[in-house]
Chains A and B, each alone.
Chain A
Amino acid sequence: MSVPTIESPVPVTGGPPKRKPKAHWRTRLVRDWPLLLMAAPMMLLVWGFWWIPALGNVIAFQDYKPYTGGIFGSRVVGFTHFQLLFADPDFTRALLNTLAITAFQVVFYFPVPIALALLMHSLVSERLRSMLQSVVYLPYFFSWVLVIAIFQQMLGGAGLLSQTLRGAGFEGVDWMTNPDTFILLVTSQAVWKEAGFGAIIFLAALAAIDPNLYEAAAVDGAGRWRRLWHITLPGIRPVIVLLLILRLGDALNVGFEQFFLQRSAVGSQASEVFDTFVYYSGIRTGDFDYGAAAGLFKGVVGLVLILAANKAAHLLGEKGVYAKS
């Protein structure tokens, strides 16, 4: 795959697109300076808080001394931190937890927005559908702090469920601090917060299916289930495949806040993921170089996975997200 772009397609009639000879840069500067001026604040922020700090990843290869050496005066140690990383059982656990959570969510989170979209799409009443949409999109705009606070009040040791169980004479339960059910808990939280908003893209795909196909199938005697199987699902297949591949390409990303916020409640054994490992090994303990190495490892592997996933999407005949056309 070449460099990702989101260019709109250029109609090509025979042979590669011909490039117009470009005017001299000084002519273009006279013409385009207002556009450059418009881009300037954005470029300042993007470089100042994204690309320049990105260069700081060199400390992953240094024995970084924040006060005495700095980034230019610290000794270069090559791949030492990475060797230590691969021998670190905490790192391995963070990696395994992350992959386990991704796998679990691909099975138990991923189908929910699709089902939700099918349900909403099947509603004939416009008003009912729009009301349901308003309700299910809402939690997407809550912060993780709020979502976890809400779950705590419902499922925690002092929460509503325990309160009701105890009121009925049973023992209370506390799902917020149980490491064994943690993966179930975080997946339910993700479903509660994001499945509704995630349905939007499938709704758009469903709306794009040609209604004549349904009519033709119905006239030919296909019932509603056969239409679902032979028209609806194939109609949204490209979107499903694309999002699934992208999710796999993003396997190392399960989010940071959700796990960071619940780490003290369930313990690091179950809740340590890649991003929390970077925070605790780097910032909390002050081993910036070691934490940066972990972060850089994640960044590089993540980039390779994303590019591979996009390639896979192209090979399967789907448009990747960064499709060239």
Chain B
Amino acid sequence: MSANAKRAAWEEPPTVAGQAAKGASIVVIALLILFPLYTIALTSLSSSETVHRVGGLVVWPGDGITFEAYEQMFRNPVVLRSLVVSLGVTAVGTAVSVVVSVLGAYSLSRPGSLGHKTVLFSVLLMFVVFPGLIPVYLWVSAIGLRDNYLAIILPMAVSAFNVVVLRAFFMSLPQELFDSARIDGAGEFRVLWRIVVPLSKAVIAVVTLFYAVAYWNNWFNAFLYLDDTSKWPLALVLRTYVVESAPLPQAAGLTEAPPTLAVKMAIVMIAIVPALIIYPFVQKHFKKGVIIGAVKG
């Protein structure tokens, strides 16, 4: 094994068969996840002739790389517009969600304050009691949010799970810090902004990732509430073009040719890429505690 191995003195040396089995499972697991991503990426980077000759996904590199499919994709106004919509909704939604959740979680981290129980139960009961699809659908339509971007932000703006994660972390901070700040005359907002937030960067980063991923991936609210396809986010366009292999319904006067396989794979890549970019920055925080402590209550 590598140089940084820390095998305890009492442990028996690894058997060859054991090591081989372990190595093989690791390779298989990694391939099962990475190989599909690799061939999709390669296909999106292949010319339409290569894709046509191979008759489907491209597995072997060597036919050269071209950004033809991406150029084509960005020339398609439907895809481009949906990408802008998704970026906007994700940015605005995540900002709203994180601010609201941090404020709410901080207020929930102070038991004994006025109205604490009411607020706590309003949030905790969300884990076990659900309003149901149809009442929410009728309500959102009734208050006039149809065809409004707010309809795809507000219903998912507060996640009880994320609030509880934040609250558990805030409560685990040493309370003496807050007490001394308060004795020095700092108000609650000041304590939150100057002491709690700087100490909670890791957990806030994780919660931000969870919210951003939820907004980026969500297509069902758009499917329910946005009749105007020109307002559709990327995830819904992806579903229509790639999963359903259909043109957009009533595509606002656009004449659209069905996208080729390479272009479809380019759309898939665009939908994956944001997660790939943000993920490494946040992944290290999963390792210990941050989430688990809260999950276990």
**Residue interface mask A180-209, B partner, CB < 8 A = 1:** 000000000000100010001100100100
Q: Does B57 contact A (CB under 8 A)?
A: yes
Q: How far is the CB of A263 from chain B (nearest CB, A)?
A: 11
Contact, CB under 8 Å: B131 / A50: yes
Contact, CB under 8 Å: A38 / B107: yes
Contact, CB under 8 Å: A295 / B122: no
Interface centre among B137, B242, B243, by most chain A C-beta atoms within 10 angstroms, is B243
The binding surface of chain A is classed by DSSP as: helix
**Residue interface mask B280-297, A partner, CB < 8 A = 1:** 100100111101100111
Which of under 10, 10 to 19, 20 to 34, or 35 or more describes the interface residues of A? 35 or more
Contact, CB under 8 Å: A149 / B242: yes
Q: How far is the CB of B235 from chain A (nearest CB, A)?
A: 6
Residue of B with least CB distance to A58: B135
A48 partner residues in chain B, CB cutoff 8 A: 154
Q: How far is the CB of A249 from chain B (nearest CB, A)?
A: 10
Q: Does B224 contact A (CB under 8 A)?
A: yes
Interface centre among B7, B135, B154, by most chain A C-beta atoms within 10 angstroms, is B135
Q: Does B49 contact A (CB under 8 A)?
A: no
Contact, CB under 8 Å: A295 / B133: yes
A279 partner residues in chain B, CB cutoff 8 A: 133
Q: Does B29 contact A (CB under 8 A)?
A: yes
Complex-state Cα separation, A85 to B289, whole angstroms: 45
Q: How far is the CB of B263 from chain A (nearest CB, A)?
A: 13
Contact, CB under 8 Å: A134 / B164: no
Q: Does A84 contact B (CB under 8 A)?
A: no
Contact, CB under 8 Å: B189 / A5: no
Q: Does A210 contact B (CB under 8 A)?
A: no
The binding surface of chain B is classed by DSSP as: helix
A119/B22 contact (C-beta < 8 A), A36-B114, A159-B56 known: yes
Interface centre among B25, B33, B133, by most chain A C-beta atoms within 10 angstroms, is B133
B residues 190-207 in Cβ contact with A at 8 Å: 192
Contact, CB under 8 Å: B297 / A143: no
Contact, CB under 8 Å: B132 / A57: yes
A154 partner residues in chain B, CB cutoff 8 A: 36
Contact, CB under 8 Å: A45 / B115: no
B36 partner residues in chain A, CB cutoff 8 A: 150, 153-154
Contact, CB under 8 Å: A8 / B2: no
Contact, CB under 8 Å: A283 / B33: no
Q: Does A219 contact B (CB under 8 A)?
A: yes
Q: Does A321 contact B (CB under 8 A)?
A: yes
Contact, CB under 8 Å: B4 / A39: no
Contact, CB under 8 Å: A192 / B32: yes
A5/B120 contact (C-beta < 8 A), A42-B104, A219-B10 known: yes
**Residue interface mask B144-177, A partner, CB < 8 A = 1:** 0000000000110110000110001001000000
Contact, CB under 8 Å: B292 / A201: yes
- A sample of 12 inter-chain contacts (CB < 8 A) reads A32-B110, A39-B108, A41-B104, A42-B163, A49-B155, A57-B131, A57-B132, A127-B2, A134-B283, A153-B40, A207-B288, A278-B132
| Chain A residues close to B by CB (< 8 Å) | 3-8, 25, 28-29, 31-32, 34-36, 38-39, 41-43, 45-57, 59, 66, 116, 119, 122-128, 130, 132-139, 141-146, 148-150, 152-154, 158-160, 163, 167, 192, 196, 200-201, 204, 207, 211, 214-215, 218-219, 223-224, 256-257, 260-261, 264, 275, 278-279, 282-283, 288, 291-292, 295-296, 298-299, 302-303, 306-307, 319, 321-323
By Cβ-Cβ distance, the 6 closest A-B pairs, closest first, are: A42-B104, A56-B135, A143-B217, A54-B131, A295-B132, A53-B139
